[in-house]
Structure formats: C-alpha cells, structure tokens
Structure 1
C-alpha cells in the first residue's frame, strides 16, 4: 500500500464479493478455456498453463508446479500426457541427474501460438472492452493476490 491508502477492514463485505466474483470468472474462463484448448489439440486448460509457462524457456518439474500452482504428483502425470501428445520433451539436467527439465517441442510452440492468436479468447472473455490502463491495473491486482495467497 502507498501512503494515503487504507486497507479495508478484514470483515468488510467487499472481500467476500471479490472472492465470489473471482470464482464466477474462474468458472467462465474454465469453460471458455476448455473449448479453446481442445481446438488446439490439448486435453485441458492446465496443459495450456504448462505450455505458457514453458514459453520463456525450459523449466524443472518443481518450477512448473510452482508457476502453475499444480502439485508435483499431478504435474508428473500432466507432463507425461503432454509428452505422449508430443507437445513437450523432457531431459535430465546437466550435472544433476535427479532433476528433470521440460521443454516445448515445435508442436507445443504451434499449439501455444494458435491459442495466443485466438481472437475468440478476447471476444469470449470481453477483455477487449476494457482499456489498456484498466487491464494493466487488474493484472497487477491479480498478481498481488496470487502472491499474497502463496505467502500464506
């Protein structure tokens, strides 16, 4: 918080309304995301999350789990399914055979590029109705919320 900004009381009703609206958005985004993921050849929205996380470079299973909020046990199964679909490949880290790294394949990059090009995502979510400044502010708030929840 910056100077002059007061935190709302922990019992303020706005907190509950925000949580409910986040759940509503989550349900709607899940429905939209499942459809778009399927059109790109993926079996779940979580696979989309994983491909997006790998876009910046190769990651370990632990890093992927932290990035996507998925447990290591679930991550292992999801990576296996992505490998079977040839969207990702795995390899052992140099100098540490215990660490498995995951990288995007060309097929994974193509699927991700297709998902990012979908104008349907923008239209279906109606984010195109918000100005850039509002979207940037909203994104910062969501990131701070995620960071705060991870701290607890």
Structure 2
C-alpha cells in the first residue's frame, strides 16, 4: 500500500509538473502573441500616420502650386498692361511726329517752289494732302457714326425684347 501511495504521489507530481509546464508554455505563447499583435498594431498606426502626412504634404504642395500659378497670371497681366500702355504712348508719339513731318514737308514744298506758279502748285499739293486727310478723317467719322448707330439699334432691340419679356410675364 505504501508502495502504491508512493507511486501515486510520484505520478501525481509528474502530472502536476507536466501541467505546470503546459500552463507556462501557454502563458509564454499568449505573451508572445500579445507582443506580436501590439507590434503589428504599432506598425499599422505608423503607416497610417505616414499616409496622413503624405496626403497633407500633397495637399499643401497643390495649394502652393495654385498660388504660384495665380501669381504668374497676375505678373503676366501686369506685363501686358504695361506693354499696352507703352504701345499706346509710342503710337501717340508717332502720330504727333507724322503730323509735324507733314506740316514741315508742306512748308518746305511751299518754300522751295519758285515763282508764283510753283507756289500755287505747292499750295495745291498741300491742299490735296489736306483733302486726303479730311477724307480719311470723314470716313473714320462715318464709320464711328455707323458703329454708334448699330450699337444704339442693338441696345434698342435688346430693350424691346426685355420689355416684351416683362410684358409676357
């Protein structure tokens, strides 16, 4: 009986030992799995953080590029305005110079003409030049009048259409 009890006790101790060993292994396995899960979670969080940063950087880059485009457009507009102003000034100077040159040429023609006949011819030529200038000026004025009348007619037609619409409403 003592021998049986001793064997039972030894067997029980071995089973307890095995059980403790299994429990220890299971606990180690659980700890290892927990650590792996936490590690994966941290990696995922870091990846998400990096993705958010990239998205924010792209958004900022796009905004900066848009601002740069707007600034370039403004610079182009300013440059075009300056060029237009300079061109208009040059045109005005050229017109003034042309008028002076025409007057000087008329005077030279008159001065160079010899005798009454040549003077008369020079005056006649000067008058012809004036007549041509007047003609071109009259044609320009006629064109302006035509444009104004067409514009006025268009505005009247538009007003009539608006009046018709209002009347229909």
Which TM-score band applies after superposition, normalised by the shorter structure? under 0.3
Larger radius of gyration: 2
Which has a greater percent of helix?
2
